[in-house]
């Protein structure tokens, strides 16, 4: 059975208010995430696929950080918008995020790719909402744990000294 998420419209104020409340955001934050993720698409470097993606993060202290996809002639070397945004935020010292937004130019709201889901997992709580906007402002919201069930995160790694002792003991 196929999963069909509920689709909302940023132009529908009551939907935006209800969605914001459900995910611990304000309607202003949802609109700002949409605006900034959509604007970030304009900075995408995608001469090969022409598939523009913008992403914006909202930190716990109210800072917004945007990023866009950056392609490369050697296709696997490209970087997705979400990873660009997180790289920028982390290197600027921003920690703790309350929402992630992604915007594309296509009909259906697009979710982060598998690599980005795992990358996002490093920096956010599993309850963090991921807002996925299409070209017209329609969007789907899912928590990271819904996009990445049974995820592997930093808390699963033993401390480095435990790993060293384990290796030294031949375990």
- Separation between Cα atoms, residue 122 and residue 119, nearest integer Å: 6
Cβ 78 vs Cβ 72: under 8 Å: yes
Predicted local confidence at residue 168, as pLDDT:
77
Predicted local confidence at residue 171, as pLDDT:
52
Question: In CATH, which of 3.40.140.10, 3.90.550.10, 3.40.190.10, 3.10.20.30 is domain 8-168?
Answer: 3.40.140.10
Please enumerate, by residue number, every residue annotated as part of a binding site for Zn(2+): 80, 113, 116
Whole-model pTM? 0.92
List residues with catalytic annotation. Answer: 82
Give the CB-side neighbour count of residue 165, counting CA atoms within 13 A.
5
Cβ 71 vs Cβ 49: under 8 Å: yes
Q: What is the domain partition of the chain in residue ranges?
A: 8-168
Please enumerate, by residue number, every residue annotated as part of a binding site for substrate: 69-75
pLDDT in tens, 96-125: 999 999 999 999 999 999 999 999 999 999
Mean pLDDT within 23-52:
98
Question: Which of 92, 87, 86, 53 has the alpha carbon at shortest distance from 69?
Answer: 53
Q: What are phi and psi of 38, to 5 degrees?
A: -65, -45
Q: Helices 13-22 & 27-40, crossing angle to 10 degrees?
A: 100
Please enumerate, by residue number, every residue annotated as part of a binding site: 69-75, 80, 113, 116
pLDDT in tens, 46-86: 999 999 999 999 999 999 999 999 999 998 899 999 999 99
In three-state secondary structure terms, 141 is: strand
More confident residue, 2 or 59: 59
Residue 30 confidence (pLDDT) above 60: yes
More confident residue, 58 or 156: 58
């Amino acid at each position: 059975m196929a999963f069909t998420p509920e689709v909302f419209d940023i132009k529908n104020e009551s939907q935006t208010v209800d969605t914001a409340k459900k995910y611990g955001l304000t309607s202003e934050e949802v609109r700002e995430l949409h605006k900034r993720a959509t604007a970030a698409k304009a900075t995408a470097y995608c001469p090969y696929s022409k598939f523009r993606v913008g992403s914006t993060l909202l930190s716990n202290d109210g800072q917004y950080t945007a990023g866009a996809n950056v392609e490369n002639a050697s296709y696997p070397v490209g970087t997705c918008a979400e990873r660009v945004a997180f790289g920028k935020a982390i290197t600027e010292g921003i920690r703790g995020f309350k929402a992630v937004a992604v915007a594309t130019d296509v009909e259906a709201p697009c979710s982060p790719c598998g690599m980005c889901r795992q990358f996002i997992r490093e920096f956010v709580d599993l309850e963090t909402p991921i807002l996925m906007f299409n070209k017209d402002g329609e969007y789907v919201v899912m928590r990271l744990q819904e996009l990445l069930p049974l995820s592997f995160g930093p808390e699963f790694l033993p401390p480095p000294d435990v790993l060293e002792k384990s290796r030294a003991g031949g375990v």
